[in-house]
Structure 1
Amino acid sequence: MKHTRPIFDEEPAIKITRCGNSSICSQRNGKIMPASENNQNNSNQTGGNANGPNSADHSVDTNLYSRQIYALGESAMTHLRKASVLISGIGSVGLEIAKNVILGGVRHVTLHDQKLLTFGDLSACFYANESMVGENRAKISFTKLAELNDTVTCILHTEALNEEFVKQFDLVIVTDSPWEEQIKINNWMRKHGKLFISADARGLFSYAFVDLGEKFAVHDVDGETYNEVLLEHVNCETGEIFTLDKAYHGLEDGDHIVFEDFEIAELNKLTPTPVKTTAKGHIVNVGKALSSFSSVIDGPISRGRARKVKMPKFIEFKSLADALKLPEFMIWDFAKFDGSEHLHRLWQALYKFEKKHKRSPKPRSKKDAELFKAELEGTGTAEIPEQLLLNFSYQATGNLQPVASVIGGFVAQEAFKAVTHHTTPLKQFLYTDSCEALPGDYSSFDAGKLTEKDCEPRQTRYDGQAAVFGWSFQAALSKQNWFIVGAGAIGCELFKNMAMMGLAAGNGGLLKVTDPDTIEVSNLNRQFLFRRPDVGKKKSEVAARSMKQFNPAVNVQALSDIVSEATESVFNDDFFNQLNGVCNALDNVEARRYVDRRCVYYQLPLLESGTMGAKGNTQVVFPHLTESYGSTSDPPESETPVCTLKNFPYQIQHTIQWARSKFADHFTSVAETANQYLDDVNGFLGRLQQMTVSQKIELLRALNKALIDECPSSAEDCVKWARDLFDSLYRNEIMQLLHNFPPDQVTSQGQKFWSGTKRCPHPLNFDVDNPEHLEFVYSAAFLRAQLYNIEPISDPIKVAHLARAIISPEFKPREGIKIAITDAEAAANDEAGPEGDDSEKLLDTLNMNLARLKIDNIRRLTPIDFEKDDDTNHHIDFITAASNLRAENYTIEKADRMKTKQIAGKIIPALATTTSVVAGLVCIELYKIF
């Protein structure tokens, strides 16, 4: 993805039970039982009924959470599935936090609030409407929140909090609450060794605070995946180790490494060793760690690698009471370097004002601003800019969905860090200020000219937004026409934000959304508008319907056309000329570039964004003011040489890529080629004449195999083919390679041929009792049968019985076979032709065989397109088995199914928290466009 930067600057990282009169909770003997206390039976309660998962079920649905697991890791996901979290205050920020925490799969989530819904809440409470004003905020949202994830136990509590109640949770998150209440709860949590986070938002301002105790262990400080470094030379006396081909090691002083894949087993068992970098980027020093091995290893090595490992880091946090006096800040905007200290004082003054006056300062009230200024006494000495003070006072009743989305996503991510010990948490205050979104004197909505009357509440759902921008601005928002391209994770968050903003909610306004995709199970973890019953439905249609539920006044039109050159008759001049702007919510660069070109042509603003795990980016493209998206590009990704994949793999990525290629060769390309021939023989042969001799032979051989030599007539034939394929890939080809390049082969320079990145392989003999061997044959036979429209054998026992009966012929290596060592050598071999002087004779034979076919009697094949998210189709099963058997050939560490799926499917890690933050930032930028 393009221009990805961390959103989290500190290095990243349903059971519905009712009981009692005023609370809904899971109880045993009157006590809440979170997962950490191993509550075995949440359905046995006082006066309650239950539905949903067993509370002791900490299992992880890898289909549902796959993208999150790729971002956080399986260990972190397991911690989430055991955690219990209390969220107090289900206003705008609390609601966002709850949404993200529940989507993230935290095992037990208790929602608490005693406040009643007001009109001011409605601008950022997406599960509420005007008819609910006066009801408890947590009760209003509880059912909808509980529906977000049926693997999470959600509990409602509306009584006052006390120490006995809160101490049972692993983490308490407090929002929309004064310092006194926060300090009290924080002290309770510290007393019992538990974790605490708080947050709030007013207008364009927000903050978060984190206290994880006196000594919090972070097991993975940055959440990054490190590649191993191949080594070629070791100097045990000096402690210097040299990377292969002078590759950059990417290590820093103090990093720890372990040694792997050395021929000396004891070296591979060393504990993590600290390194010291040198002036040269391919050399690091490990001190005396290798001194005891000088007699057995010193100098050039045939194989070995170093891998950076994560070492735990311990962080000390202050209590909230102490942190208020001696705060530590994470800076949100480096253009406002002193901003955190200013905002620290302003938030203290606000809570003092509200305690004294039992209300917040009124929008644009100069009188209240003076009263507010008086509350700054005793909060610090930093001089606060007058305009910042006024903006803060004027926006104290403001409630903006985009700001809640940003801080709510951020805090939910901090919650994940807290309960998983994964990635470095916030230490300790974050203050945000997005006042650049206020219109200036260049705009007809100049915020500097707003009066109290312009922003006074009118008891509508937009009171909280009008308090910041005024009612004229709100009216203009309602008349906007925008086009949202994509209804995936970012799209869902954008729809929620835009609905609450009232974008296109008036006469003449219209939001158009398009997405050709249908909803899959893996979407549900972060695309919160969708539920399990929606799986298989069009994303755009379900998203539009959900948007109307958030705000019935929004005018939205759902489309399902892809935006490309092929659909310019749909997305034509009339379409674009009606728009005020475009929002991209796409998942690939080419589509982004195309939409960008259209926006440049029609001179429309474009709001661009993307995410990858805990990282994200936003970009504003504004006509005649900024560069376009296509003006810059990321450097191209490095590609693995074909010869490395074909004969000399040394990483599991290589074997997975090879297995993915074999899937395409055997189950997709061959069927497409055969169907092209069957549909139009003359046309096919005409295109064949344009190819080189080598290409003709390769293509005709594949056709002969598919339609004649290896064409199955039964499912048993498919098992036989799969069993033969095993021998061909994992025994015969390896034995031929070793025949050409024996294990003791040396180069013309006298060096070992099998060294460095070339790992000497060994052949595999089929063993039906080996689960991996049988899995390969089973899945390959299953797919082969589908390819030829034959009912597959679904019983693994029967497949094993058939495979056991197959006798493999002895392999005899062929002489004169050329095996290229480099891609350049392979290209030269292809140019020369694989069969030398016999090429034309071979071509004639292959053509004659095909000419004898009675095409009318042959059924078309069914090409199998790779689909990574269907566990019943055996696609990932085949690729995992094929890759790991290849890894076994070359003594490469194998990968589990999850990792194989991610690499083969090119899956981008994703988190609902990051999506929430990015979508919020996009909509804050949307404010600025007016």
Structure 2
Amino acid sequence: MSDNSKMQIDSEENGEIDEGLYSRQLYVLGAEAMKKMTHSNVLLVGLKGLGVEIAKNVTLAGVKSLTLFDPAPTKIEDLSSQFFLTESDIGISRALATAPRLAELNQYVKISVFEGTLDEDALTQYQCVILTETSIETQVQFNEITHKHNIAFIAADVRGLFGTVFNDFGSGFTILDANGNDPARGIVSDIDEEGNVSILDDTRHDLEDGDYVTFTEIEGLSGLNNATPRKVKVLGPYAFNIGSVKGLGTYVKGGLFQQVKVPFTIDMQPLIAQLEKPEFLFSDFAKLERPPQLHIGFQALQGFANKHDGQLPKPMDDEDANEVVHIARTLAAQLPGVLDGAELDEKLIKELAYEARGDLPPMVATLGGIVAQEALKATSGKFTPIKQFLYFDSLESLPESYPRTKENTAPIGSRYDNQIAVLGKDFHNKIRNLKEFLVGSGAIGCEMIKNWALMGLGSGPEGKITITDNDSIEKSNLNRQFLFRPHDVGKYKSEIAAKAVVQMNPDMAGHIEARQDKVGPETENIFDDDFWNGLDAVTNALDNVEARQYVDRRCVFYRKSLLESGTLGTKGNTQVVYPGLTESYSASQDPPEKSIPLCTLRSFPNRIEHTIAWAKNVFQDYFVLPAENVNLYLSQPDFVESTLKNSGDQKGILESLQAYLVTEKPLTFDECIAWARLEFEKKFHNDIAQLLYNFPRDAVTSSGSLFWSGPKRPPTPLTFDPENPTHLNFVIAGANLHAFNYGLKGSTDPAVFKRVLENVIVPEFSPKSNVQIQVNDNEPVENDQGAIDDTSLKSLAESLPTPSTLAGYRLAPVEFEKDDDTNHHIDFITATSNLRAMNYAIEPADRLKTKLIAGRIIPAIATTTGLVTGLVNLELYKVADAKTKLESYKNGFVNLSLPFFGFSEPIASQKLKYNDKVVDKIWDRFELTGDITLRELLDLFKEKEGLEISMLSHGVSLLYASFFPPKKLADKYALPLTKLIETVTKKPVAEHAKTLIFEICADDLNDEDVEVPYISLKLR
């Protein structure tokens, strides 16, 4: 391919992976896969909606180059789903118009437009070729070349609410990692001669049949250590077999196992063979019969187009649809193995024909996420590809309340024609006049509002979108939050997102309100009754459970539907919350995250996660808490007195104040270096020497077994070596952070550190006999300083300099920030964690992994985000249609790495029964109006509902209970409920509160305790 055959778009090319940009993606794909991608060239044919969605995701992911081919001129209807095209591009080649805008997404990806002939010489320049909007005959022709040269080939298309993907990655395609999960690992407790391996029963091994493992630190079977990986047969959650180990010795003790990801190959067939005998990956297990039908149907559509100059059937045109059905019948007879004896579903084929010209943004987003991930698999070898056909549909999203006809699905010459072709003008107008609330404008939020702009959601006379996010844009966001550009860093996400989609679709101007208010109890005066009551629906794009639960509670209270979603690397989930029909988001929760026992953290780590958590605590203890306590001491006169009364660590706090204000207060950066060197000695030599003094390597327990066994790994004190990078990094990062606390100028000049370190005097250390070390969490917490009485504490407090002598003096607490590579935060935690790992002979972690764990980062990639957002908006169509059948909605779970697609009906909301009345536990409530008295409330429920209220509460305050003393009750009966709240809580009812919520316990007519809904009292 000559230089003259394509137009180059300027973009920067860099051999190194930009961790600042790709950090969240690196956690998903890994450095090896990323490097392979950065050397891969991809060709994409077809730049309508699906093509640009794929292009966007592939560009954000960071391949070496993406070449576009689509010489067709832009048409108005292309704007239905092609977000990089505008009305001014009409008549211009779709590829030429798209390329410069696509290039803005990632400076490291070379974007070009191919303008020559895509012959065999041209195709062999690429590692992956993707076709959209091409005939099956063209796909077969291209695939013949790619299969011959073992070039990955993908063909995909969207037809209304139907989509198709085909993969052919050739023969012997190597998969480096099938699922991307972290390798399983654990501690061995026994291995017998038959190779049956038992592990400690506190953690499952998480292995599967066919996995491979290696071993280290085994005593007695030393031949297994670091040997060739052994294949696993799972025997149970805490045992597996590795084959006979006879002749290798007898197991004595110890040992660690680690899973090894062994590459494997798969073979795929070319399209021409798969058309006749297809292999399907099922996208919905409730529709197992559908892929063979659609396999025939998509070929029938092509047959129709071949007869009509490339034109697909007209929307809702029975004559065209019947012709497609006729072609499908012929194909089914010619390919009997496809349907395998099943009857052709003519109704389904007819619906496919009705929708064939449709191009819906949610379908484009869904298929675009899937296809782009397949392209990344092809170029990296990471994860398992689709083998070989996938068909997907969302027929449940068709409107039921808005009939479709040939007349109301006909084009009207607008940007929405391809949506109208499927849904009809009436339902399209319904979408345009929705009033929607989007909470969050990060990765999912950007994709969500992009879809809405293309759909025209909220753009009608009565429509409106409110978007809120109090976060600002960071560099790491640019890799997956595609509405943002480098020049937007530091600006508010909601503002930039709103401006970007108005440029995408000018109809949205005046219909989007961007706010920077966090949605929570503190903003209920902003997001008040009028706001919530004015909404049609709510969509979450949040990244934390607490905020999601709050929005969920608001939606339940105001009876608004909620669309919920989330991603974790290649995994994604969606949930529909619909009033009176489904359970709420808060009705079910994930199990709590397993915590690390304190004794493990303090003295007995055995995994790198333990040392990272410990290092994070050290960071807090060195650079955050002491500075905060110093500032409190200097600003609050009663701080010491309060500490002596209330703190569980009075001595520690007072000694910290003395150290940071007097004995260890640095005046120069040299003193900060010396401080860091001495802290190295304390943490990694002295504390370990003390631990081994208390528990020597040959120590035994009361039962006679070795103390240092099982999960307890015997440590080794470290001797400081300035030539060791990890040792030196601890001192460099620690000294700079200590200097930050005191406002001193730091340095990273090795010469400065070498000079100071040569002159640091390290005191001799001798272990103490009175130090107690906690062995398990049931024992008292360690006390390595000995007992101290009240008199000594008071004396220690009195030795502190008085705040008046330090007027205006303050320390600067460090605010942990994981994404700033210049602030030494992650550097310090990485060095500290790895030094601790060296103490305990644990495999250290690189900076990237440490950052992931210490920063509690959620791995994220654009492909999953796009797919999940597409699925959410397919449900939004149903919400807009106000479907009332539970089976109409679908909750989804996907894992693109496997790949796996699972859908299920939402769980129905729970019903309650009292006095022969049935109510909805979540969505129903007792609605009252006016500030009635407590007595009036009790009488009302007894007379109207047959319920005797035994307890009444508001928030966390118990307002009334039948067991209260009579005199106390007498004082409350006459109080209006607002006054009762103020009397009990000692706080006034908020002025903006228009409705109050009360929880009640009640007995029914049979004097039985029954569960009932809450009370909603409208004040005004």
Is the pair's TM-score, using the shorter chain for normalization, greater than 0.5? yes
- Tell me how far 1:798 sits from its aligned partner: 0.4
Q: Secondary structure at the match of 2:711?
A: coil
Name the counterpart of 1:591: 547
Deviation digits for residues 186-209 of structure 1, max 9, x if unmatched? 001112221100100011111000
Matched to 1:109, the amino acid is: L
Name the counterpart of 1:14: none
Matched to 2:321, the amino acid is: A
The question of 1:601 aligning with 2:561 is answered no
Aligned length in residues: 868
Name the counterpart of 1:156: 113
Q: Distance in 1 between matches of 2:212 and 2:594?
A: 27
Q: 2:813 aligns with which of 863, 867, 889?
A: 863
Q: Secondary structure at the match of 1:139?
A: helix
Q: 2:627 aligns with which of 671, 675, 678?
A: 671
Deviation digits for residues 692-719 of structure 1, max 9, x if unmatched? 5x52122212212221221222212211
- Tell me how far 1:112 sits from its aligned partner: 0.6
- Tell me how far 1:478 sits from its aligned partner: 1.3
Contact 2:156–2:163 at 8 Å: present in 1 too?
yes
- Tell me how far 1:247 sits from its aligned partner: 4.1
Superposed, 1:326-341 pairs within 5 Å as: 326-341=277-292
- Tell me how far 1:686 sits from its aligned partner: 4.2
- Tell me how far 1:557 sits from its aligned partner: 1.0
Change (3 A) 1:805 1:331: same
The question of 1:374 aligning with 2:331 is answered no
Q: Secondary structure at the match of 2:26?
A: helix
Q: 1:911 aligns with which of 846, 861, 877?
A: 861
Deviation digits for residues 335-384 of structure 1, max 9, x if unmatched? 11110001001100001111111211111111111122222143225433
The question of 1:133 aligning with 2:90 is answered yes
Superposed, 1:364-763 pairs within 5 Å as: 364-381=316-333, 382=339, 383-440=343-400, 443=401, 445-446=402-403, 450-554=404-508, 555-682=511-638, 684-691=639-646, 694-763=648-717
The question of 1:275 aligning with 2:232 is answered yes
Contact 1:120–1:399 at 8 Å: present in 2 too?
no
- Tell me how far 1:164 sits from its aligned partner: 1.1
Change (3 A) 1:246 1:624: closer
- More deviation in 623-632 or 811-820? 811-820
Matched to 2:232, the amino acid is: V
- Tell me how far 1:261 sits from its aligned partner: 3.0
Deviation digits for residues 665-686 of structure 1, max 9, x if unmatched? 111111111111111122x134
Structure 1 portions without partners, runs of 5+: 1-16, 27-49
- Tell me how far 1:851 sits from its aligned partner: 5.3
Deviation digits for residues 889-917 of structure 1, max 9, x if unmatched? 11111111111111111111111000000
Name the counterpart of 2:968: none
Q: Secondary structure at the match of 1:432?
A: strand
Q: Distance in 2 between matches of 1:384 and 1:572?
A: 54
Change (3 A) 1:247 1:146: closer
- Tell me how far 1:656 sits from its aligned partner: 0.6
Contact 1:678–1:855 at 8 Å: present in 2 too?
no
Change (3 A) 1:784 1:466: same
Q: Secondary structure at the match of 1:870?
A: coil
Across the aligned residues of Structure 1 and Structure 2, the Cα RMSD in angstroms comes to 1.7
Name the counterpart of 1:925: 875
Deviation digits for residues 537-582 of structure 1, max 9, x if unmatched? 1111111110111111111111111111111111111211111111
Q: Distance in 1 between matches of 2:747 and 2:386?
A: 55
- Tell me how far 1:293 sits from its aligned partner: 2.2
Deviation digits for residues 833-881 of structure 1, max 9, x if unmatched? 9643x42232022111125564434611111111000001010110111
Deviation digits for residues 733-755 of structure 1, max 9, x if unmatched? 11111111111111122211111
- More deviation in 185-194 or 591-600? 185-194
Q: 1:93 aligns with which of 21, 36, 50?
A: 50
Q: Rg bigger for which structure?
A: 2
Q: Secondary structure at the match of 1:601?
A: helix
Q: Secondary structure at the match of 1:150?
A: coil
Name the counterpart of 1:11: none
Matched to 1:76, the amino acid is: A
Q: Distance in 1 between matches of 2:472 and 2:826?
A: 21
Q: Secondary structure at the match of 1:886?
A: helix
Q: Secondary structure at the match of 2:307?
A: helix
Name the counterpart of 1:315: 266
- Tell me how far 1:53 sits from its aligned partner: 2.6
Q: Distance in 1 between matches of 2:814 and 2:94?
A: 50
Deviation digits for residues 129-149 of structure 1, max 9, x if unmatched? 223222211111111111110
Matched to 1:647, the amino acid is: S
- Tell me how far 1:18 sits from its aligned partner: 12
Matched to 2:11, the amino acid is: G
Q: Secondary structure at the match of 1:206?
A: strand
Q: Distance in 1 between matches of 2:203 and 2:458?
A: 54
Name the counterpart of 2:19: 62
Q: Distance in 2 between matches of 1:786 and 1:590?
A: 33
Matched to 2:455, the amino acid is: M
Matched to 1:768, the amino acid is: P
Name the counterpart of 1:355: 306
Q: Distance in 2 between matches of 1:897 and 1:755?
A: 30
Q: Distance in 1 between matches of 2:269 and 2:641?
A: 78
Name the counterpart of 1:52: 11
- Tell me how far 1:25 sits from its aligned partner: 4.1
Matched to 2:260, the amino acid is: V
Higher relative contact order (CA 8 A, sep 6+): 1
Matched to 1:324, the amino acid is: L
Matched to 2:266, the amino acid is: I
Q: Secondary structure at the match of 1:726?
A: helix
Q: Distance in 2 between matches of 1:476 and 1:331?
A: 33
Matched to 1:918, the amino acid is: V
Name the counterpart of 1:38: none
Matched to 2:346, the amino acid is: E
Q: Distance in 2 between matches of 1:167 and 1:218?
A: 21
Q: Secondary structure at the match of 1:823?
A: coil
- Tell me how far 1:52 sits from its aligned partner: 2.8
Q: Distance in 2 between matches of 1:61 and 1:484?
A: 31
Q: Distance in 2 between matches of 1:100 and 1:557?
A: 27
Q: Secondary structure at the match of 2:567?
A: strand
The question of 1:220 aligning with 2:177 is answered yes
Name the counterpart of 1:6: none
Contact 2:184–2:206 at 8 Å: present in 1 too?
no
- Tell me how far 1:214 sits from its aligned partner: 2.0
Deviation digits for residues 232-256 of structure 1, max 9, x if unmatched? 1122x22222112464322233221
Give me the identity figure in percent.
44
Deviation digits for residues 58-92 of structure 1, max 9, x if unmatched? 32111111111101111111111111100011111
Q: Distance in 2 between matches of 1:332 and 1:277?
A: 29
- Tell me how far 1:223 sits from its aligned partner: 1.4
The question of 1:104 aligning with 2:56 is answered no
Matched to 2:796, the amino acid is: L
Q: Distance in 2 between matches of 1:247 and 1:97?
A: 40
Matched to 1:213, the amino acid is: G
Greater than 6 Å deviation, 4+ residue runs:
none
Superposed, 1:168-207 pairs within 5 Å as: 168-207=125-164
- Tell me how far 1:720 sits from its aligned partner: 1.4
Matched to 1:291, the amino acid is: K
Contact 1:254–1:274 at 8 Å: present in 2 too?
yes
Q: Distance in 2 between matches of 1:393 and 1:419?
A: 35
- Tell me how far 1:321 sits from its aligned partner: 0.4
Contact 1:59–1:81 at 8 Å: present in 2 too?
no
- Tell me how far 1:507 sits from its aligned partner: 1.4
Contact 2:436–2:465 at 8 Å: present in 1 too?
yes
Deviation digits for residues 464-489 of structure 1, max 9, x if unmatched? 00001111111121111111111111
Name the counterpart of 1:249: 205
Name the counterpart of 1:897: 847
Name the counterpart of 1:298: 251
Name the counterpart of 2:770: 816
Q: Distance in 1 between matches of 2:202 and 2:753?
A: 49
